[in-house]
Structure 1
Amino acid sequence: MSITKAEIFEKLSTLIEYESTDITHTIPNLVKLEYSQEDQSFQVTSLTNGSARSYYDTKSASEAIYTILTTLGENL
């Protein structure tokens, strides 16, 4: 899987535009992303080890996702 930080950032920025909606995206066995409109935060969960963190800005969330994906890519 090859994706850049800029592409991830763009996709996350699009999620914020959905009013009054909580959104969940999952890449099976890799990462789960949840966006809470109420909290205006992203929760990024690594499905390989279960660690989850909340991010309140798009840049930090996209960097976390990129790190998970590139780290997993090196270990596959």
Structure 2
Amino acid sequence: MDDPYLNELRDDFKGYSNQLKKLKKKLLKTNSPEMQAKIIKHIDSIANKMENNQKQSVKVTKSRIRERKAKAKK
């Protein structure tokens, strides 16, 4: 299914994933507890964005499938 909005959600998800990889490396390199706490908060924030992205993606996919079924019945 080629849908511009779903493609955008997928690209956003890839971006979040790349950010997480960078933050993980940064977290492993730093020794400062303050910096580690800051990085962990950032990781949590990105994880929440990813979760919301996935929920939205599922909703849109289900909606698109319903639309196609409705068109097929006509």
TM-score range, shorter chain: 0.3 to 0.5
Q: Larger relative contact order (C-alpha < 8 A, sep ≥ 6)?
A: 2
Task: Flag the structure with larger Rg.
Answer: 2
Return the structure number with greater helix share.
2
**TM-score where L is the length of structure 2:** 0.36
Q: Please report the TM-score for the alignment, with normalisation by the length of structure 1.
A: 0.35
